[in-house]
Amino acid sequence: MAMKRNLTLAVLAVVLLASLASAQDASTALKPPKGAQVAIVVFEDLQCPDCRRAAPLVAQAGKTYKIPVIRHDFPLPFHNWSFEAAVIARYFDTHSKQLGIDFRDYMFEHQPEVTPQNLRGFAEKFAAEHKVDLPFVVDPQGKLAAAVIADRDLGQRVGIEHTPTIYVVSNKTQGKPFVEVVDRSQLFQLIDAMKRGE
């Protein structure tokens, strides 16, 4: 009986520690960068049609409110080129953050035409247009893939279940410091409310 009770307590402790780690991940991931009061955080998949539809609105909101947009890679397992595209986007990030953003937007623009077989060709065309060399092996040490996996794992710990998942986040300590944008037509109102501290 005592052994069964100890086992139950051990299981409860593990569950509690896991939920604490998850809450810590959420509070870290769902915060604006230093110096910003409010930001938009997006978990996206470059092959996701709904992410493609949401991206221009999210970018417009970032520009309109002059707030950061933090994009996390969340490639879904059933999409056959999104992981590789995210790795290539990370390669362009190493040249400049803006170049990585531009590549992600380029992939959304051409998403209906992209296949696993022609993804490399699209990346090469983008690289040539931006006068950047695209090496034959983009990620020889696997560091870029590890960064994509880390983003995906973070999303899983935060509880992401679909893409895109969009949050409006703030640095406030009272009330709810982040809110998920369930209805994208409400994005601007949610930003306004977060800026007012509601």
pLDDT per residue as tens digits for the range 104-152: 999 999 999 999 999 999 999 999 999 999 999 999 999 999 999 999 9
Res 12 pLDDT > 60: no
**What pLDDT does 27 receive?**
63
pLDDT per residue as tens digits for the range 164-186: 999 999 998 777 899 999 999 99
Res 22 pLDDT > 80: no
**What pLDDT does 117 receive?**
98
Give the Cα separation of 126 and 106 in Å (integer). 8
Give the count of alpha carbons within 13 A of 131, CB side only.
0
Sheet with 69-73, strands from edge to edge, namely 69-73, 38-44, 165-170, 178-180
pLDDT per residue as tens digits for the range 66-81: 999 999 999 999 999 9
**What pLDDT does 25 receive?**
54
Domain 25-196 has CATH 3.40.50.720: no
Helices 97-110 & 82-95, crossing angle to 10 degrees? 150
Task: Map 74-133 to HEC letters.
Answer: CCCCCCCCHHHHHHHHHHHHHHCHHHHHHHHHHHHHHHHHCCCCCHHHHHHHHHHHCCCC
Q: For the purposes of burial, counting CB atoms within 10 Å of the CB of 184, is it exposed (0-12), middle (13-18) or buried (19 or more)? A: middle
pTM: 0.84
**What pLDDT does 23 receive?**
44
Give the Cα separation of 79 and 96 in Å (integer). 26
Output the six-digit token pair for 44. 């996206």
pLDDT per residue as tens digits for the range 145-170: 999 999 999 999 999 999 999 999 99
Res 2 pLDDT > 60: no
Output the six-digit token pair for 87. 């790795």
Q: In this predicted structure, which of 2-16, 26-40, 84-98, 184-198 has the lowest mean pLDDT?
A: 2-16
Tell me what percent of the chain is helix, strand and coil, each rounded to the nearest 5. 60, 10, 30
- Domain ranges for the chain, please list them: 25-196
